[in-house]
Amino acid sequence: MIVSWRNTPDVSINDQELMVDKPPALTAVTGMDALTHALETYVSTSANALTDAAALEAMKLIANNLRTAVYNGEDIEARENMANASVLSGFAFNNGGLGYVHAMAHQLGGFYDMPHGIANAILLPYVEKYNLGARLERFAKIAEIFGVNTENLSTRESAEAALDAIEQLAEDIGIPTTLSESKYDVKEEDFSEMAKLALEDGNAGTNPRKGTAKEVEEIFVAAF
């Protein structure tokens, strides 16, 4: 991955009418990518009041509109809300950092040419299960955003329910639930090297739980 001010645009135009004809699969993976941006920032070690506001609103928009945008691409309101979610999540992660989902997803893209949105969507629940204990209250808040009734749940139960809700969203919009279900011929023998490289990725530094290469490798194995 190459990151430089030289390949960063001065202006980004997000026009929902240009998105109407985009296929459901593309809508699904880009929507899950935006969700990953928002969620990883919200639980990152560099989260702050401004990034929280953007990330929370982005997650609300995605929770309420991504299914509709996938199922009916001509729904302009859903398309507009998803476009706004993408912008908000972009603001959030550019100012609050990401985590192991992105650090690991970059390896899947580099090794197997796996589309970034698919890699993020598959890895998201597995990485956040690993992170759960470090940000229980924040994951409990995410559960509320996704419509979970947390009134009679403990903080941990609510946090775990957030992961269930995210997995259900991914399943509903046709995202593979494991790396082996994807069509990109992911190989377990690569996981050790990929884990080491993931920890060298710039996004790893703001993950809420600091792991070893072995632990990151185990996340790859769990997601396989």
Number of domains within the chain: 1
The 3-class SS string of the chain reads CCCCHHHCCCCCCCCHHHCCCCCHHHHHHHHHHHHHHHHHHHCCCCCCHHHHHHHHHHHHHHHHHHHHHHHCCCCHHHHHHHHHHHHHHHHHHHHHCCCHHHHHHHHHHHHHCCCHHHHHHHHHHHHHHHHHHHHHHHHHHHHHHCCCCCCCCCHHHHHHHHHHHHHHHHHHCCCCCCHHHCCCCCCHHHHHHHHHHHHHCHHHHHCCCCCCHHHHHHHHHHHC
The pLDDT value given to residue 192: 98
The pLDDT value given to residue 12: 82
Q: What's the predicted TM-score (pTM) here?
A: 0.94
Residue 14 lies in a domain: no
Q: What is the CATH number of the domain that holds 49?
A: 1.20.1090.10
Q: What is the mean pLDDT of residues 74-87?
A: 97
Residue 12 lies in a domain: no
Q: What is the mean pLDDT of residues 135-158?
A: 97
How high is the mean pLDDT of the chain? Answer: 95
pLDDT of residue 3 exceeding 80, the answer is no
pLDDT of residue 68 exceeding 90, the answer is yes
The pLDDT value given to residue 71: 98
Residue 200 belongs to domain spanning: 19-223
The pLDDT value given to residue 14: 84
Residue 13 lies in a domain: no
Residue 118 lies in a domain: yes
pLDDT of residue 5 exceeding 90, the answer is no
Residue 175 lies in a domain: yes
The pLDDT value given to residue 61: 98
**CA distances from residue 193 to 80, 107, 196 in whole angstroms, order as listed:** 40, 9, 5
Integer Rg of the chain from CA? 17
Q: Specify the range with the lowest mean pLDDT, choosing from 13-17, 103-107, 160-164, 213-217.
A: 13-17
pLDDT of residue 198 exceeding 80, the answer is yes
Q: How confident is the model at residue 189 (pLDDT cuts 50, 70, 90)?
A: very high
Residue 11 lies in a domain: no
**What percentage of the chain has pLDDT greater than the value 90?**
90
The pLDDT value given to residue 7: 82
pLDDT of residue 206 exceeding 70, the answer is yes
The pLDDT value given to residue 9: 82
Residue 1 lies in a domain: no
Q: What is the mean pLDDT of residues 32-36?
A: 97
Q: How confident is the model at residue 4 (pLDDT cuts 50, 70, 90)?
A: confident
Residue 71 lies in a domain: yes
If one compares 8 and 167, the residue with the highest pLDDT of the two is 167
The pLDDT value given to residue 1: 60
The pLDDT value given to residue 131: 98
